[in-house]
Amino acid sequence: MQTPEQALASYLAARNLKMTPQRRLILREFLQSGSHVSCEDLWARVKAVDGSIGQATVYRTLKLLADSGLANPVDFADGVTRYEPHYGQEHHDHLICEQCRTSIEIVDPVIERRQEALAKRHGFVLSHHRMSLYGLCAACRAKASGS
Amino acid sequence: MQTPEQALASYLAARNLKMTPQRRLILREFLQSGSHVSCEDLWARVKAVDGSIGQATVYRTLKLLADSGLANPVDFADGVTRYEPHYGQEHHDHLICEQCRTSIEIVDPVIERRQEALAKRHGFVLSHHRMSLYGLCAACRAKASGS
DNA sequence: TTAAGTGCAAATAGTTTGCAGGGAC
DNA sequence: GTCCCTGCAAACTATTTGCACTTAA
C-alpha cells in the first residue's frame, strides 16, 4: 500500500510533472485539514508553515490533486469550491444542516446501485455523482421550536 | 389553480413588494425558456423583447423567483448558477453528460424514499436535495470509441 | 540542460451593490 | 406621497493567467 505522497509522485512521474516542496507541503496540509477545505482555508494553513507560498500555487495544486484522484471537489452551494481528501476512502455524500452548516457524511448502497441502474437505462456510463441533502439537524430544530 | 404570474403577485403582495413590467416579462421568458437557464441566457432573451432591461434586474428577479418557490437553482458544477422553473412540477434530479453537457431529468422513488430514511436516521428533517449524476451519454461514448 | 513550477500581480467571470431617478400602490 | 424598483456602473469574490525567475529531474 502506497502513501498519498507516493501516489502523487507516481501520478506526476507518469506525465513528466515534478514533485516540489510546495506540492508536498500542500498535500500534507490538505490531508490533515479534515473534510471540506476551501482553497483559501488551505492557503492559510500552508502559509503558516511556509509564508512564501503563493495562493495561485494552492489553487493549481488542488486542481492537480483533484485530477490525480487524491481530492474530490465538494459543492456546498455557497459559491466556494471545497475539496475533501479522497484516498483509500469510500465515496460518500452529504447531509447538510441549512442553519448551522454542519455536514454529515453518508453512504447508502441501495442509492448507489439505483443510480447506476438509472444511468444505464438512459445509456449513460457514470464517472461520478454528487448528492447533497439539505435540511435542519435535530439540534437546530430544537432551538427553533424552543424560541 | 392560479397561474405562475398570480402566484408571484400574491408572494409580492404578502411582503409589500411590487409587481412591475420587468418582473412580469422576466417571469414569462423564464417559464418559456426550458430548463437550466443561466442569468446570462435569460438576460439575452429578455433583452430581445425589451432592450432596456438591465442585467442586475434579471439577477435580482431570478433570486426573487427562487425565494418565492417559482424557480429552483440547479448546479452543473461549471461555475454558473442555472435555474429551472418549479411550478406545479414534480421534483427531479439530473443526469449530465460531461462531454456534450446534455442533461436528462430523472426521478427515482426508491432513491427519494431512502434519502428521507437516511436523513431521519441522523435526526434531520429535509427541506430539499440535489443529486447530479455525471458521466458520458451513449452518443459521446460512441464518438469517443470511434475516434 | 531544460521543461515544468513558482510567486506575484493583473486579468477574468459571475454576481452583487450603491446610487440617482422612475414608478407601483 | 411613499417606498420599492430600475438601470447603470463600479465593486466584489473566487479563480485563472501572463510573465520573469527558479528548480527538479
pLDDT tops 80 at residue B1: no
* Contact (CB, 8 A) for B67 and B17: no
Task: Kindly determine whether the C-beta of residue A60 is less than 7 Å away from any atom of nucleic acid strand C.
Answer: yes
Say what the pLDDT of residue B89 is: 65
Say what the pLDDT of residue A88 is: 63
**Measured on CA atoms in the order A57, A60, A63, A67, is the torsion positive or negative?**
negative
Query: Chain-wide mean pLDDT for chain A?
Result: 89
Amino acid identity for residue B18 in this structure: K
- Is A95–B124 a contact, with Cβ atoms under 8 angstroms apart? yes
Q: Which residues of A make CB contacts under 8 Å with B?
A: 73, 75, 77, 95, 97-98, 104, 106, 108, 110-111, 114-115, 118-119, 122-138, 141
Give mean pLDDT, residues B119-141: 90
- Is A130–B127 a contact, with Cβ atoms under 8 angstroms apart? no
Say what the pLDDT of residue A1 is: 65
A80-84, A116-120, B56-60, B96-100: the lowest-pLDDT one: B96-100
Q: What are the Cα distances from residue B75, in Å, to A121, A143, B33, B55? A: 23, 30, 17, 21
* Contact (CB, 8 A) for A57 and A73: no
Provide the percentage of residues in chain A whose pLDDT is more than 90: 60
Give mean pLDDT, residues A53-61: 97
Give mean pLDDT, residues A100-105: 82
Give mean pLDDT, residues A41-45: 96
pLDDT tops 90 at residue B39: yes
* Contact (CB, 8 A) for A134 and A98: yes
Long-range contacts of B56-64 (CB under 8 A, 24+ apart): B57/B22, B57/B26, B58/B26, B61/B22, B61/B23, B61/B26, B61/B27, B62/B26, B62/B30, B64/B17, B64/B23
Q: Which residue has the higher pLDDT, B96 or A31?
A: A31
List of domains in chain A: 1-89 (1.10.10.10), 91-147 (3.30.1490.190)
Element housing B72 (H / E): strand B71-75
Burial A35-44 (b: 16+ CB within 10 A, else e): ebbbbebbbe
Give the protein-side footprint of strand D (Cβ within 7 Å): A 12, 18-21, 38-40, 55-56, 59-60, 63, 79-81; B 12, 16-18, 20, 22-23, 50, 52-57, 60-61
Say what the pLDDT of residue A147 is: 47
**Measured on CA atoms in the order B87, B91, B93, B94, is the torsion positive or negative?**
negative
Give mean pLDDT, residues B3-20: 94
Give mean pLDDT, residues B88-101: 80
First to last CA, chain A: 52
Distance of C1' in D22 from CA in A57, Å: 14
* Beta strand pairing call for A103-106 and A93-97: antiparallel
Give mean pLDDT, residues A106-118: 92
Distance of C1' in D8 from CA in B58, Å: 14
Cα distance between residue A22 and residue A51, in whole Å: 11
pLDDT tops 90 at residue B78: no
Say what the pLDDT of residue B147 is: 47
In terms of average pLDDT, the best of A18-27, A90-99, B101-110 is A18-27
Say what the pLDDT of residue A27 is: 97
In terms of average pLDDT, the best of A35-39, A99-103, A122-126, B58-62 is B58-62
Say what the pLDDT of residue A142 is: 82
Give mean pLDDT, residues B47-55: 96
In terms of average pLDDT, the best of A1-5, A60-64, A104-108, B126-130 is A60-64
SS3 content of chain A, % helix, strand, coil (to 5): 50, 20, 30
Taking residue A61's Cβ as centre, other Cβ atoms within 10 Å add up to 24
Supply the DSSP string of B73-116, one letter for each residue.
EEE-SSS-EEEEE-SSPPP-EEEEETTT--EEEE--HHHHHHHH
Burial B75-114 (b: 16+ CB within 10 A, else e): bbeeeebbbbbbbeeeeebbbbbbeeeebbebebeebbeb
Per the structure block, which three cell numbers stand in for B25? 416579462
